């Protein structure tokens, strides 16, 4: 009887998640052409992926490659050596076959991304949507985590008006990403926005952040952080408040100051929660699509386009095969990175907790 | 490493608490408490939950501010001093062990905070661990220890700093009964050998009786009586102390004193020159009386139950809504619902003013 | 005694420097949070001229507030606005109810019953699905016929396959599978979902969006509620069972009331996500079932550029209900999320 309880969820997921996933995979290997009332499907093997990785869309997904600069060589080789050393150390200490295969996949992905980064950005060229998405994930999540944790810790102290702060800090999470995008576009307007006078004064009155790739990326990251810091805040606040008061007092009596108590007592306690929060944020951050679409439409050029957005644009131009292929590339990168993070960071932290 | 090289004993300091008051908003949690603890003394704060004993301890520790009053440790006024400068150590009810640190790291944390050199720290950890017989478990995490072992870690962490004062907040209440007995003995032994002034909070009167040099009994934020365990047991100052100490507690009979004679339902007892009062409570301990034939004792009542506790029998009497308990030898037998008399030694009886609760003394 | 800057002057008080740092941080962030919202609100009361002629900050001082944008949306375009609002309410509410209901059931059974599905049977099913997709997609086989064949093949041979090869999964694996669905970016599944709804003529209907949102949020519900159910002591249910209650009754009478906190947090979270969702709505609802985010985004489509004033109004009316709900339920959220978070 109780077994039936699970059925609706499984059926829903099979129909609306697993089946589309498989269908999408099939579509990634086909070319779909719309004709009159219906559409024609043709099997094209790896051609959709080929186009993204090596063909006409390479600049879009991966970026423009140029001759490697010295800096690129240094960073690339350093990353390679570091990764090899990491793998070697693992083999020497506690080797298992499954663990090794898993680490090998992580290793390959990290190596690929390191060299991609070296060959595009560090060699003075543009990176593509993969690089942009990673920028949103790494910089955005890092920023959100730092600020959210700091705010949560501040609010977990005995602060007057702590309840009001909590409510205020929580609000941005409620606002639709579309709204956040437009609000920040208003704010960022250099001639009519609230900071117009500041821009004029700085001699940037005619400058538009939307035309500078880095300014645009950073601006999207700020908007994204504005929206998602509340999430980190509320989870970390729950974490800080779950640390037993006795431990704080014991540390106080043992002579530890605020900073020492935080570093030695509180932080190790909330670390598993922090890792989980970070994982959730990273998973969500990989999906970013609304903000770049609203704020910059991916521009200038492709500077702020995320992989999701690229896939959406491919769909809009009715290239369903490419759209699915790009989506699958995103899925693959997300899964490898998130699973690696889960196994190497989250599980390690959770296990370390007695 | 040799334990002898690290001496854990210290010069004990006295504590003097003068007119402590604590308000939480309008709530008066601690009322004018004054107390002197001499160096090396083991003082127990005893009382039911919510009586303010923990608040008092936390004020001494510096975890709560002192609304008004003065706290001296040794000859220094520390009323406004931060906990870490008070030269105290505290054992919490939950032990408050740092779950992510090993036993050794837990014990050594106070020294780590004080930036003690590594070698010195290791020696001190070992010495403290040996004191509580934990030296083989230094690499374990607290989660892997039994309750008694955790208790010892907490103790070791407290003694490693060689504080001049030890504060303990119900340290044994999370242990099971048998372990509690063992730990009690060990605590007493350790306090004796280290000679550290100790203030110990508990609601368990057996702990208070066995451990304390002196007991301070509290109720509703007020100090009720301060004295040696023997004094507070046999010479209670008021009805509350009389009813709180002892298990089962003192039996009470309400009556009046007229012409120096206490009278109640069927009871008539000469008192020792007590002045007349209309509402008086007579108290006598269950072990100070015996069950006798009906009509032979000072009062008669109906037997309610007979309980065997192993080393003795407790006979409970009921008359009206009052009950009285008499301790009898273990092979004592009596029929429930039968009537019997209770005889007691009048010299051990105490008289209290029913309204104020105060003990009546010969004027 | 001399105290450092970061040491409290009095017991139970904060050190002066700590206090300064904390309050600066909190106040600065409050400002950063509030200012964009303030700007949004005043923009909604500005005339186009007041928006275009440069920054004006304080109503009545800098510019004369006007209700024209509110009038545009609530008088001239009332029908459109109300339809989008109604759509959003119906869709978010139904999707939340469906998701929380189905997800809680699943989470409850996962936390109370041992499942041991056979991995090989599942793989067999997935293989059949892949075959069907290829047949339909590439060779143009009939959709319903192929699906019927797949179902028939599965039920005919599942037992045989399961007997021959058996690799048992545990509850944790099922849970992980469900939660891991959250990794899927909407973009990966949205195109097939679009085509699926098209083939059953459900495109641009409430039902399509309700089902999609319910499934997308299912992982969150299952994850949070699983931890919540696990934290409820089993004695209560056992005593209910001894009293003769069936599993459904136990669930309804004992478990649900006890998980109010978790349910509140989960419901609110799912509600927010459904209410604010954009990408799926963009694909699936084209006109009739258009939701509020699409309405907001549509303000950008005019020839006159972005109508900031009406867009501000649209955003405001969109965030009012969720903010109100969140402020009311705020205390439950931290408590409800805590159970999941602390356990990791």
- DSSP letters, B90-114, are EE-TTTT--TTS-HHHHHHHHHHHT
Token duo for residue B89: 């150590």
Radius of gyration of chain C (CA): 27
CB B221 within 8 A of CB B213: no
Burial of C65 (0-12, 13-18, 19+ CB in 10 A): middle
**What pLDDT shows up at residue B2?**
41
Please write the tens of the pLDDT for every residue from A245-290. Answer: 889 889 988 888 888 888 889 998 888 888 888 988 999 999 998 8
Give the max Cα distance, chain C. 88
Helix axes A320-341, A307-316, angle to 10 degrees: 160
Token duo for residue A4: 């039936």
Question: DSSP assignment of C164-206, as one string?
Answer: H---B--HHHHHHHHHHGGGS-HHHHHHHHHHHHHHTT-TTSH
A348 shares contact with chain B (CB less than 8 Å):
no
Find the domain containing A288 and state its range.
Answer: 126-354
CB B66 within 8 A of CB C11: yes
Neighbours of B44 (CB within 10 A): 25
* Test the B interface: residue of A247, A253, A269, A273 with most B CBs within 10 Å: A253
Distance (Å, whole) CA B197 – CA B240: 28
Closest chain B residue to C7 measured between Cα atoms? B82
CB B150 within 8 A of CB B144: no
Please write the tens of the pLDDT for every residue from A119-163. Answer: 888 888 888 899 999 999 999 999 999 999 999 999 888 888 888
Distance (Å, whole) CA C37 – CA C33: 7
**What pLDDT shows up at residue C265?**
83
Closest chain C residue to B83 measured between Cα atoms? C11
Distance (Å, whole) CA A238 – CA A234: 6
Element (H, E) at B350: strand B350-353
List the CATH number of the domain containing A352: 1.10.3720.10
Element (H, E) at B217: strand B214-219
Chain C residues with CB within 8 Å of chain B CB: 1, 3, 7-8, 10-13
Q: Is pLDDT at B217 greater than 60 in this prediction? A: yes
- Name the 3-class secondary structure at A119: helix
Domain ranges of chain C: 77-114+182-343, 118-167
CATH of range B3-239; options 3.30.565.10, 3.40.50.300, 3.60.15.10, 3.40.50.970? 3.40.50.300
All residues at 6 or more sequence positions from C202 whose CB lies less than 8 Å from its CB, including other chains: C208
Structural domains in chain A (count): 1
Distance (Å, whole) CA B246 – CA B236: 11
Residues of chain A contacting C212 with CB distance shorter than 8 Å: 16
Task: Name all chains with 3 or more CB-CB pairs below 8 Å to chain B.
Answer: A, C
Q: Do C11 and B62 touch (CB under 8 A)?
A: yes
Q: Do A331 and C184 touch (CB under 8 A)?
A: yes
CA distances from B91 to B175, B214, B218, C18 (A): 14, 20, 21, 28
Domain ranges of chain B: 3-239, 249-353
Element (H, E) at A348: helix A347-352
Closest chain B residue to A256 measured between Cα atoms? B113
Q: Do A253 and B90 touch (CB under 8 A)?
A: yes
Helix axes C308-343, C260-276, angle to 10 degrees: 150
All residues at 6 or more sequence positions from B98 whose CB lies less than 8 Å from its CB, including other chains: A247, A250, A251, A264, A265, A268, B105, B106, B109, B142
- 73-92 of B, contacting C, C-beta below 8 A: 80-83, 85
Bond from prior residue into B248 cis (ω within 30 degrees of 0): yes
Q: Do C8 and B82 touch (CB under 8 A)?
A: yes
The alpha carbon of residue B82 is apart from the nearest alpha carbon of chain C, in Å, by 6
pLDDT tier for residue B3 given thresholds of 50, 70 and 90: very low
- What is the distance between the terminal CA atoms of chain A, rounded to a whole angstrom? 37
Question: Structurally, what CATH architecture does the domain formed by B249-353 represent?
Answer: Beta Barrel (2.40)
Going across the sheet that includes B27-37, the strands are B27-37, B15-24, B68-73, B76-77
Percent of chain C with pLDDT over 70: 94
Residue A220: inside a domain, yes or no? yes
Distance (Å, whole) CA C49 – CA A277: 45
Radius of gyration of chain A (CA): 24
A229 shares contact with chain B (CB less than 8 Å):
no
Token duo for residue C199: 């083939």
The alpha carbon of residue B352 is apart from the nearest alpha carbon of chain A, in Å, by 41
Mean pLDDT within B224-246: 90
**What pLDDT shows up at residue C297?**
82
Distance (Å, whole) CA B79 – CA B76: 9
Residue A84: inside a domain, yes or no? no
Distance (Å, whole) CA A229 – CA A222: 10
Q: Is pLDDT at B43 greater than 90 in this prediction? A: yes
DSSP C59: B
pLDDT tier for residue A333 given thresholds of 50, 70 and 90: very high
pLDDT tier for residue B277 given thresholds of 50, 70 and 90: confident
C33 shares contact with chain A (CB less than 8 Å):
yes
**What pLDDT shows up at residue C46?**
85
Neighbours of C232 (CB within 10 A): 17
**What pLDDT shows up at residue B341?**
87
User: In B38-124, at which residue ranges do the beta strands (DSSP E only) sit?
Assistant: 42-46, 68-73, 76-77, 88-91
Q: Do A179 and C308 touch (CB under 8 A)?
A: no
Q: Do C10 and B65 touch (CB under 8 A)?
A: yes
Of B63, B99, B109, the CB nearest to A254: B109
Distance (Å, whole) CA C35 – CA A193: 12
- How would you classify the pairing of strands B88-91 and B165-169? parallel
Tens-binned pLDDT, residue by residue, of chain C (344 aa): 566 777 777 777 778 888 888 899 999 999 999 999 999 998 888 888 777 777 777 778 777 788 888 888 777 878 888 888 899 999 999 999 999 999 998 998 888 888 877 888 888 888 888 888 788 777 777 778 888 888 888 888 877 877 777 778 888 888 888 888 888 888 888 888 888 888 888 888 899 999 999 999 999 899 888 888 887 888 888 888 888 778 788 888 888 888 888 888 888 889 988 998 988 888 888 788 888 888 888 777 666 677 888 888 889 988 888 888 877 777 777 666 665 544 43
Backbone angles phi, psi at A174, to 5 degrees: -80, -20
Place of tokens 């309700």: C210
CA-closest candidate to residue C211, choices B108, A127, A14, A194? A14
All residues at 6 or more sequence positions from C233 whose CB lies less than 8 Å from its CB, including other chains: none
**What pLDDT shows up at residue B1?**
37
The alpha carbon of residue B116 is apart from the nearest alpha carbon of chain C, in Å, by 20
Residue A273: inside a domain, yes or no? yes
Q: Is pLDDT at B7 greater than 60 in this prediction? A: no
Distance (Å, whole) CA B9 – CA B160: 10
All residues at 6 or more sequence positions from B317 whose CB lies less than 8 Å from its CB, including other chains: B301, B302, B303, B304, B323, B324, B325, B326, B340, B342
CA-closest candidate to residue B286, choices B321, B323, B254? B323
Distance (Å, whole) CA B213 – CA B40: 10
CB B81 within 8 A of CB B62: yes
* Test the C interface: residue of B22, B82, B99, B113 with most C CBs within 10 Å: B82
Of B63, B66, B85, the CB nearest to C1: B85
**C217 alpha-carbon distance from chain centroid:** 5
Q: Which fold has domain C77-114+182-343?
A: MetI-like fold (1.10.3720)
Task: Please name every residue paired with C114 in a beta bridge, in sequence order, or none if there are none.
Answer: none
Mean pLDDT within B312-323: 85
Please write the tens of the pLDDT for every residue from B157-206. Answer: 988 888 889 999 998 888 888 888 888 888 888 888 888 899 999 999 88
């Amino acid at each position: 009887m109780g077994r039936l309880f699970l059925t609706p969820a499984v059926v829903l997921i099979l129909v609306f998640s697993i089946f589309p996933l498989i269908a999408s995979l099939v579509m990634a290997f086909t070319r779909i052409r719309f004709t009159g009332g219906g559409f024609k499907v043709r099997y094209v093997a790896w051609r959709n992926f080929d186009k993204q990785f090596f063909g006409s869309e390479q600049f879009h997904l991966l970026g423009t490659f140029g001759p490697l600069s010295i800096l690129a060589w240094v960073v690339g080789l350093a990353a390679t050596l570091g990764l090899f050393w990491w793998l070697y150390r693992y083999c020497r200490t506690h080797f298992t076959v499954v663990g090794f295969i898993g680490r090998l996949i992580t290793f390959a992905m990290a190596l690929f991304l390191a060299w991609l980064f070296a060959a595009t950005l560090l060699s003075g060229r543009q990176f593509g949507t993969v690089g942009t998405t990673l920028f949103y994930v790494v910089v955005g999540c890092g920023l959100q985590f730092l600020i959210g944790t700091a705010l949560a810790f501040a609010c977990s102290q005995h602060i007057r008006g702590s309840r009001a702060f909590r409510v205020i800090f929580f609000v941005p999470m409620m606002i639709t990403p579309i709204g956040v995008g437009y609000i920040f576009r208003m704010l960022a307007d250099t001639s009519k926005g609230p900071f117009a006078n500041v821009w004029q004064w700085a001699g940037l009155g005619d400058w538009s952040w939307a035309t500078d790739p880095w300014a645009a990326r950073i601006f999207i990251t700020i908007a994204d952080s504005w929206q998602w810091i509340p999430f980190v805040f509320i989870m970390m606040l729950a974490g800080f408040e779950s640390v037993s008061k006795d431990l704080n007092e014991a540390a106080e009596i043992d002579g530890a100051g605020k900073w020492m108590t935080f570093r030695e007592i509180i932080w190790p306690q909330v670390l598993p929660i922090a890792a989980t929060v970070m994982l959730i944020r990273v998973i969500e951050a990989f999906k970013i699509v609304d903000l770049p679409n609203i704020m910059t439409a991916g521009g200038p050029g492709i500077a702020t386009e995320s992989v999701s957005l690229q896939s959406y644009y491919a769909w809009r131009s009715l290239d369903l095969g490419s759209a699915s292929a790009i989506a699958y590339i995103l899925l693959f990168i997300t899964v490898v990175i998130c699973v690696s993070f889960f196994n190497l960071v989250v599980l390690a932290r959770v296990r370390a907790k007695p | 490493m040799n334990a002898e090289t690290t001496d854990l004993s210290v010069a004990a300091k006295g504590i003097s608490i003068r007119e402590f008051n604590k308000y939480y908003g309008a709530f008066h949690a601690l009322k004018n408490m004054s107390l002197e603890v001499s160096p090396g003394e083991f003082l127990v704060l005893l009382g039911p939950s919510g009586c303010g004993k923990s608040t008092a301890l936390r004020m001494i520790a510096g975890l709560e501010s002192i609304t008004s009053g003065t706290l001296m440790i040794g000859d220094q006024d520390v009323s406004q001093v931060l906990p870490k400068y008070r030269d105290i150590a505290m054992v919490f009810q939950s032990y408050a062990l740092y779950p992510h640190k090993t036993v050794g790291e837990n014990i050594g944390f106070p020294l780590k905070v004080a930036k003690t050199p590594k070698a010195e720290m290791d020696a001190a950890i070992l010495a403290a661990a040996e004191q509580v017989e934990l030296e083989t478990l230094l690499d374990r995490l607290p989660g892997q220890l039994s309750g008694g072992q955790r208790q010892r870690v907490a103790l070791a962490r407290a003694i490693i700093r060689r504080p001049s004062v030890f504060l303990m907040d119900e340290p044994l209440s999370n242990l099971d009964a048998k372990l509690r007995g063992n730990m009690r003995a060990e605590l007493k032994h350790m306090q004796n050998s280290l000679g550290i002034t100790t203030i110990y909070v508990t609601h368990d009167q057996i702990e208070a009786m066995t451990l304390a040099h002196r007991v301070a009994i509290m109720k509703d934020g007020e100090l009720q009586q301060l004295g040696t365990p023997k004094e507070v047991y046999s010479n209670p100052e008021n009805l509350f102390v009389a009813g709180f100490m002892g298990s089962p507690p003192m039996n009470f009979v309400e009556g009046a004193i007229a012409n120096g004679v206490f009278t109640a339902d069927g009871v008539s007892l000469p008192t020792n020159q007590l002045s007349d009062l209309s509402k008086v409570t007579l108290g006598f301990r269950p072990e100070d009386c015996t069950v006798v034939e009906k009509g032979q004792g000072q009062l008669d009542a109906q037997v309610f139950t007979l309980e065997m506790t192993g080393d003795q029998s407790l006979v409970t009497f009921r008359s009206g809504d009052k009950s009285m308990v008499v301790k009898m030898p273990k092979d004592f037998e009596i029929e429930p619902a039968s009537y019997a008399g209770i005889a007691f030694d009048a010299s051990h009886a105490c008289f209290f003013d029913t309204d104020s609760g105060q003990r009546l003394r010969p004027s | 005694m001399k105290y450092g800057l970061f040491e409290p002057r009095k017991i139970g008080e904060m050190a002066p420097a700590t206090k300064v740092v904390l309050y600066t941080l909190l106040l600065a962030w409050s400002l950063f949070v509030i200012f964009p919202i303030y700007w949004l609100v005043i923009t909604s009361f500005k005339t186009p001229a007041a928006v275009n002629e440069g920054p004006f900050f304080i109503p009545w001082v800098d510019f004369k507030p006007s209700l024209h944008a509110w009038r545009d949306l609530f008088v001239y375009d009332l029908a459109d606005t109300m339809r989008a609002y109604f759509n959003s309410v119906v869709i978010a509410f139904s999707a939340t109810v469906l998701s929380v209901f189905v997800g809680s059931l699943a989470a409850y059974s996962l936390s109370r019953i041992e499942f041991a599905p056979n991995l090989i049977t599942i793989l067999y099913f997935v293989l059949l699905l892949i075959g069907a997709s290829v047949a339909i997609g590439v060779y143009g086989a009939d959709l319903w016929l192929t699906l019927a064949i797949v179902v028939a093949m599965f039920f005919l041979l599942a037992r045989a396959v399961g007997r021959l090869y058996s690799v048992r999964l545990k509850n944790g694996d099922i849970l992980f599978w469900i939660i891991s669905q959250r990794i899927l970016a909407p973009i990966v599944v949205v195109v097939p979902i679009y085509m699926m709804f098209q083939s059953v003529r459900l495109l641009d209907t409430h039902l399509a969006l309700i089902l999609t949102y319910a499934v997308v949020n299912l992982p969150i519900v299952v994850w949070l509620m699983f931890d919540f159910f696990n934290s409820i002591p089993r004695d209560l249910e056992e005593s209910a069972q001894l009293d003769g209650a069936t599993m459904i009754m136990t669930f309804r009478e004992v478990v649900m009331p006890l998980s109010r906190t978790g349910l509140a947090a989960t419901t609110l979270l799912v509600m927010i996500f459904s209410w604010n969702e954009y990408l799926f709505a963009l694909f699936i609802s084209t006109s009739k079932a258009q939701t509020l985010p699409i309405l907001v985004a549509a303000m950008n489509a005019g020839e006159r550029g972005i109508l900031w004033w009406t867009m501000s109004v649209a955003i405001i009316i969109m965030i009012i209900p969720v903010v109100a709900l969140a402020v009311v339920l705020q205390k439950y959220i931290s408590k409800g999320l805590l159970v999941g978070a602390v356990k990791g």
